[in-house]
A and B are shown apart, each in its own frame.
Chain A
Amino acid sequence: MKIKWRKILLKIHLYGGLLCFWYLLIFGISALYFQHHFRFMENKNIPALVSTKKQLRIDPANTDSVVATNIQNSLDVAGWYLPWETYRDSAGNFHTMIANPQWDYSIVYNFQNSISTISAKQKSFWNLLIALHGFAGKMPNAPLLFIWNIYTYVCIAVVLLSIFSGIWLWSGRKRQRLTGWLIFSGIIFLSFSLMIFIYKHG
């Protein structure tokens, strides 16, 4: 039985493209933002929204990074603690900050009464969307983000495959296919030439 490669490839191209539809849109929006920093996407100066107090048992003898991680895990806050915002003040309070695409948490922990004060500042929705650009999905206390991580790799593979299969599918005629490959090779050559030029001259 003769395998209909063209038909199979068209299906992969079609379904793969549909699977990556939203990823490509988010990728386009975020990439444009990285170049132009549109004002409407920036975080507004929203004041600290929530301030709560919680009692925690944290060992002060540990290093700052361990203390910050223990506080974060005890509070079950998703995000990354910021080492440059982590310190102990003269009164003995421990300060740290945990950031994630949606919130910035400022945490002050008092070792004497074991009370932590958490102030949360919300970021804009755009910030969240932009954070999905190439998001590796390894955020502490947010285990299900691995789905987006897998999705990212799938989209990379599909887009690369789509470029090559798209040219192949472009036309059934060999001559046009050759033209497609030549145009594609030319574009890749120009793209890499530009990279080399910038690498050499800045």
Chain B
Amino acid sequence: MSEVTLTIDGKSVTVPKGTKVADAAKQVDIDIPVFCYHEKIGPLGCCRMCLVEVEKMPKLMTACTMDVAPDMVVRTTTEKVEKAQKGVLEFTLLNHPLDCPVCDKGGECPLQDNTFKYGPPDTRMEFHRANNVKAAPLSPVITIDRERCIACQRCTAYSERIEQGQGLVMLNRGFYNEVNTFNNEPYDTRYSGNVIDICPVGALTNTDFRFKARTWDLTNHDTLCAHCGVNCNITVGTRLNKLMRIEARPNDAVDDGWICDKGRWGHNFMESQNRITAARENSVGATQPTSFPNFPIDAPTEHAAEKVAEAFKKIVDEHGPDSVGLIGSAYATNEESYLYQKMFRLLGTNNIDHKTYQDTPGLPIDHYDIEQIESSNIVLLIASDPTEELPILDLRIKKAVTNSGTRLLCLNDQDTALDKYADQKVKYKVGSEASAVDALAEGLARELGDAIEFSAALDQTGISADEMKALVEAVRSSMKVCVVYNPAALSGDVGLRVKRLLQVISKIPTVECGAIPVAPATNAVGAMDMGLVPDFYPGGVSVTDTEQVKSLWGENAPTQAGLSALEMIAKAKSGELKALLVHRSNPAVDFPGGAQVVEALKNLDLLVVHDMLETETTQLAKIVLPSNGPGFDEGTTTNIGGRVQARRKSLDTNHIADWKLLSVMLKTLGDETDYPRAAKVLDEISKKVPGYQGINIRGVGKSGLNREKVSCEEISIGNANIDSSGKLRLRIANYLFAHDKILDASSKLAHHFKASMAFLNEKDAGSMKVGDGDAVRILGNGMEINAEVKVDNRCLAGGVVVPRISNEQGVNGLENLDGSPAWVSIEKI
């Protein structure tokens, strides 16, 4: 891109062509006041606050709408400009109530600030200010004060250009303009809260925060959201160790300045009645009311940790190392996961896992950062539904499609909200993803002259040969491809097949390529990197790579692949596994198998659960250890783009930190390392984990650092085969805004909870004689759940999509314990 040099107030500045004068001024620390302009939303030209003088132009110009031009001379402080600024501010304030003393925006209000700097000292308005509705709900979580609105249109432009949902609009005309929704319905998109951050006055406020504190009394903590794999940057405002509000903390590489509503309001769990506040033993079924986080220092927790370590050691001594196992967490920090795998490998086992699907660490091609989506000319989205799973990723993809001309290709078994933006949508039958992915890889390989046969059975997928050909062609002829896929939504070994596909793409000489694995969990990438898997040590070092394992982890480090999470459950059932430690995970509900999982866990000699909230699994534990979790904990997480960022604590607790608890267990097991701070764990990670060299807390700073490539093993895959038993193949759709332990019934976001639904194809609905709105029972794996039918062809015939919308619903129980394809039948009630 070419550069342009211009002069602003005598200072020369060089910026890329297409930059707005308002942004160019920022580069040389010249403040041009704005209201309506927001660099992420683009120019509107509504408020006229940014008027400047430009040489050779007779009129004052708006700096926010004007592109820089070579040798342009801009003046921002002339008499003419100052007069205009005063005039515009006078107009802006004309009908704005002067209720600053009770306004939540007070202290951080651009209208206050601009008036202070540029405004007239008083007003000549002598009429009654226009009356308008004060404080009306715009949604259950947003309050609108129409009297304060200065009609800058930032919020409506956000709805139109960023969300692209046209939910929030300007109604009426002229002086009667108002921000509103259709027919007064609530404005309740998944990312509605951002309008609060961008409103330059106190018109849109956070209902939860209103009148709770003055902004200047808040202590702000720069940290990360912990709800999904994007790891959006947030600022948590606290007062007297109480959480007051959460705001976006723009980081272009991650969130582009936006956060979703779960990030903003889904924080009730921090103060939930369900918090585990103390270690307890044999207390199956009991929950204790809490006063978290201000409970007394509890030595017993550390004591309990020691006891846990000793107990595991004892079982290992009696039954051998493979009689114990760890189910780690895809939500924990890198530090916690690292220490946990270290502990179990010290116990001599590789029975370590954190997931129910097959996957390996690393990628065979570049791991793209989220920002790369915008510079790719093709985004190939496989089995992913960002809108439901990682909403801020959805915004980024939409932005790329609308602003950068990126073409979106969707390969999925269900329809998603992003399909609308897709250049090409290829839908395969539920359960046939292996063949669909292989067919694409095969097609591309053939183009390369490689007659590889991956034995893809295209006919079983429901995809036509032409569709596949077009998809192959689109990828082959692109310049830069970013493959975005959700390993957690792929059954069996399809995650590995995608990696094989990536390998093929990487061989096309004309295509620059990378991928982003978008498993929805907060630290899914970190958990893989940290070696929370049975066959890899941290950094993608295979357990069978004896030499490297021994050099990094010592002579006694186990070098045989351990059990996967689902295998551990199976062995628990058969009695071969004696003891299991579960960290921040709820297998009883979230794993396939349902009742069988519960039976298996009950069968263990020792079940230790280390978690922050009571769950169905903690109820089964012999020992429960408290975990701090987001808000209280400190450490790093690695987002879907491979960016390592620091999660800092916002609230103080007397509770012992997870990493510290782990260091107690490690010490008990004979590990001599001293961990005085969490950052020390990170230092060890940077030494021991390939890919994490050079990552330290200072380097990570406020905006994170990309880790290096984590190595990826050669991929070996068997043949795909689909069996069919005449029933419907179940596809569980993941929803971030689900009614679970994090968003419980008291959540501010309860209005997002959905009813249990079964999405059917017309054909199946017809042959089963069920229709829209019918109540049905879905039966599978000896379990059943109730749902309402929606006939909408979200998936092809032969499948059924059932979203995971709550814990109670137990939809994962319909899947088999071994994780094999789940077939369900449907009965009308």
Question: Do chains A and B stick together as partners?
Answer: no
